[in-house]
């Protein structure tokens, strides 16, 4: 190749003095790109391995009966964890019923009514702090407020613990959802003579609803998998719950209990329960992403 | 309490309507400590088109948004002076802002239809006013869409999403939505700035028709648009009203030097 430098610049090739630098640049570029790709693949490994292990160990015992039967006694085979599935659903439901209204209405207040006020600022700071709270502290709180006061472990206490866990997530994602509503819509609404309440109910909330639902689903997915808040609030039970004010089984506590006993059948059960829990959490997350995405 | 103010500016071919339909008196406006409008005095005539022109930041949109008290959505604003609609000060204690905003409609620079159907967009103003009778709403939809020259294009898709319309159609929908309330005044803040030339022509033709029924105030950056559309033009600069006259006169023989400099493009 002819690298004689002429007066006219050559746009398509680096001059000879630059060619080694150009090669080094190109090599370095490829190294870094490969590094990025490689590390991205690395991040998939934990997720893939968990799914693989849970499927491999949990599938053998996965039958309809696990949803309808009660946990087997120590050393026995057969049985299921229907009461635990029901317990998780009930307590997550209770937690949602308590935290969703508070979280959503608070988000509406801090975003629509007095966004720069001191109360709003305080609420935001506290919510962000609460997201970092160890989940066992939620359990301790619920223990003091509900269990100690009522004298019994209960699904209510478990629900309260989960509600405290879910509240900051719901509040902050709802606030983001409301921020995502174009201010042009609010302006148009006020310009037509609407009150703030009408604007929120007719325009802002419906537009923010998909994102709010996503936040709720994510909070549900997290709460369903928590063990620490339930250990000394709902405790556990071998039986179907007859009321909400008695100790209640849950999937996460069942997995914890069954993994630590020396009976292979129970340990196998724990894997199957893990499979059910992972499936539920995954389903909730996928629903959140797909079903509630805004259609443009 | 209606003052018959002697209109300080020329008004040949006096319009049949009230010359001081919307009147501004000694009006100063502040964003916090910063003064944005200085001692504005003007009379806006009924059922004619008045254009506000001036370089960016001169206060024309600020004044426009005071007419329907939209600036009150911003924290920290204050004003002195009065703005009177049919002689009554709109800032008076007993006035309901909501009722005022139904009497003074607004079309924004970037069209902002709600993510609802065309029908629901048009009737929004009526619904929040408590109207739920379907035949009343249906009649309002047809009247407003015809008034906005959108009926033929929209009548077969009334219940489809408004977001499926083109840019020009969306702006005409916003006009229909604003006139559904039968306001007395229609405020338009650079309504064509986001539209292509063909859509712009349609909206300008619309403005000519609308002024038979509504008093229109239009803010525009486009001086040619002001000459095409308006009967009177007000030139603002740095928060002050420099000149206010019949459009023909202001663009041919402006009195103030600043007006002449702006119109001839020496600054702006």
Residues of A in Cβ contact (< 8 Å) with B99: 193
Residue B94: burial class (beta carbons within 10 Å; 0-12, 13-18, 19+): exposed
Provide mean pLDDT across the span A94-107. 96
The answer to whether A187 and B112 have CB atoms below 8 angstroms apart is yes
Given an 8 Å threshold on Cβ–Cβ distance, is A191 in contact with B106? yes
Provide mean pLDDT across the span A16-26. 81
Instruction: Provide CB contacts within 8 A for A294, sequence distance 6+.
Output: A210, A211
Q: What are phi and psi of B4, to 5 degrees?
A: -95, 100
Topology of the domain comprising A65-290: MetI-like fold (1.10.3720)
- Residue of A118, A180, A184, A191 to mutate, testing the B interface (most B Cβ within 10 Å of its Cβ): A191
Looking at residue B240, its pLDDT comes to 95
Partner residue opposite B101 with nearest CB, options A116, A182, A191? A191
Partner residue opposite A193 with nearest CB, options B115, B125, B174? B125
The answer to whether A156 and A142 have CB atoms below 8 angstroms apart is no
Which segments in chain B show pLDDT lower than 70?
1-16, 268
| Nearest C-alpha neighbor of A65 from the set A225, A269, A247, A279 | A269
Looking at residue B180, its pLDDT comes to 94
Q: How confident is the model at residue A72 (pLDDT cuts 50, 70, 90)?
A: confident
Residues of A in Cβ contact (< 8 Å) with B160: none
Partner residue opposite B101 with nearest CB, options A116, A182, A192? A192
> Strand B22-31 to strand B34-44: parallel, antiparallel, or no bridges (unpaired)?
antiparallel
Provide mean pLDDT across the span A136-163. 92
For residue range A258-290, what is the model confidence (pLDDT) as tens digits? 988 888 888 888 999 999 999 998 888 888 878
Q: How confident is the model at residue A6 (pLDDT cuts 50, 70, 90)?
A: low
Domain boundaries, chain A: 16-61, 65-290
The answer to whether B177 and B121 have CB atoms below 8 angstroms apart is yes
Provide mean pLDDT across the span A69-74. 83
* The two structure tokens encoding residue A243: 């009321």
Residue scoring higher pLDDT (A78 or A51)? A51
Tell whether the model's pLDDT for residue A209 goes beyond 70: yes
B105 vs A: CB within 8 A: yes
C-alpha dihedral over B203, B206, B207, B210, to 10 degrees? -150
Numbered residues of chain A with Cβ closer than 8 Å to any chain B Cβ: 116, 182, 184-185, 187-195, 198, 202-203, 207
Residue B193: burial class (beta carbons within 10 Å; 0-12, 13-18, 19+): middle
Q: What is the DSSP letter of B117?
A: B
Residues of A in Cβ contact (< 8 Å) with B115: 185, 207
Topology of the domain comprising B22-113+184-263: Rossmann fold (3.40.50)
Q: Average model confidence (pLDDT) for chain B? A: 89
Residues of B in Cβ contact (< 8 Å) with A208: none
Residue scoring higher pLDDT (B237 or A5)? B237
Looking at residue B82, its pLDDT comes to 94
The alpha carbon dihedral of B66, B68, B71, B76 has a sign of positive
Provide mean pLDDT across the span A157-162. 94
Looking at residue A47, its pLDDT comes to 87
Looking at residue B2, its pLDDT comes to 38
- For residues A247 and A153, give the distance between their C-alpha atoms in angstroms, rounded to a whole number: 5
Q: Average model confidence (pLDDT) for chain A? A: 89
Instruction: Provide CB contacts within 8 A for A131, sequence distance 6+.
Output: A168, A169, A172
A207, closest residue in chain B (CA to CA):
B115
């Amino acid at each position: 190749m002819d690298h004689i430098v002429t007066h006219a610049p050559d746009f398509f090739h680096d001059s000879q003095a630059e060619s080694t630098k150009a090669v080094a640049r190109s090599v370095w570029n490829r190294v870094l790109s490969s590094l990025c790709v490689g590390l991205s693949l690395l991040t998939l490994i934990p997720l893939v391995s968990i799914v693989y292990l849970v499927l491999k160990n949990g599938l053998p015992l996965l039958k309809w009966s696990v949803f309808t039967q009660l946990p087997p006694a120590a050393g026995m085979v057969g049985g299921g964890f229907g009461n635990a599935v029901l317990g998780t659903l009930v307590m997550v439901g209770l937690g949602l019923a308590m935290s969703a209204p508070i979280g959503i209405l608070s988000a509406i207040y801090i975003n629509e009514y007095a966004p720069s006020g001191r109360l709003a600022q305080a609420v935001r700071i506290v919510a962000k702090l609460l997201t970092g709270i160890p989940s066992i502290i939620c359990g301790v709180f619920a223990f003091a407020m509900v269990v100690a006061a009522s004298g019994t472990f209960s699904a209510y206490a478990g629900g309260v613990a989960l509600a405290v866990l879910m509240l900051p997530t719901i509040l902050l994602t709802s606030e983001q959802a409301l921020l995502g509503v174009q201010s042009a819509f609010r302006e148009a609404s006020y310009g037509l003579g609407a009150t703030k309440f009408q604007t929120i109910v007719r325009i802002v909330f419906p537009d923010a609803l998909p994102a709010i639902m996503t936040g709720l689903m994510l909070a549900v997915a997290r709460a369903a998998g928590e063990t620490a808040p339930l250990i000394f609030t709902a405790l556990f039970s071998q039986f179907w719950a007859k009321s909400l004010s008695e100790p209640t089984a849950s999937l996460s506590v069942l997995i914890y209990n069954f993994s630590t006993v020396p009976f292979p059948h129970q340990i196998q059960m724990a894997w199957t329960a893990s499979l059910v829990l992972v499936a539920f959490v995954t389903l909730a997350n996928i629903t959140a992403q797909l079903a509630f995405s805004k259609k443009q | 309490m209606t003052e018959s103010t002697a209109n300080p500016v020329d008004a040949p071919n006096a319009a049949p309507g009230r010359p001081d339909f919307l009147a501004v008196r000694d009006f100063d406006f502040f964003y916090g400590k910063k003064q944005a409008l200085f001692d504005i005095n003007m009379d806006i005539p009924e059922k004619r088109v008045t254009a506000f022109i001036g370089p960016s930041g001169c206060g024309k949109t600020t004044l426009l948004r005071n007419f329907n008290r939209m600036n009150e959505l911003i924290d920290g604003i204050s004003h002195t002076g009065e703005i009177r609609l049919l002689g009554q000060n709109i800032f008076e204690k007993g006035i309901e802002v909501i009722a005022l905003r139904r009497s003074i409609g607004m079309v924004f620079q970037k069209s902002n239809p709600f993510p609802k159907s065309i029908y629901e967009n048009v009737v929004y103003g009526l619904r929040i006013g408590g109207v739920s009778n379907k035949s009343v709403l249906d009649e309002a939809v047809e009247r407003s869409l015809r008034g906005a020259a959108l009926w033929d294009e929209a009548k077969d898709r009334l219940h489809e999403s408004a977001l499926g319309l083109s840019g020009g159609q969306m702006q005409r929908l916003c006009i229909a939505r604003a006139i559904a309330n039968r306001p007395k005044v229609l405020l338009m803040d650079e309504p064509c700035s986001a539209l292509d030339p063909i859509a712009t022509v349609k909206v300008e033709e619309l403005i000519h028709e609308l002024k038979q029924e509504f008093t229109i105030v239009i803010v525009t950056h486009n001086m040619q648009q002001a000459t095409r559309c308006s009967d009177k033009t007000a030139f603002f600069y740095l928060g002050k009203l420099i000149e206010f006259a019949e459009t023909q006169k202001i663009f041919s023989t402006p009195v103030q030097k600043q007006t002449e400099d702006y119109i001839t493009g020496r600054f702006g």
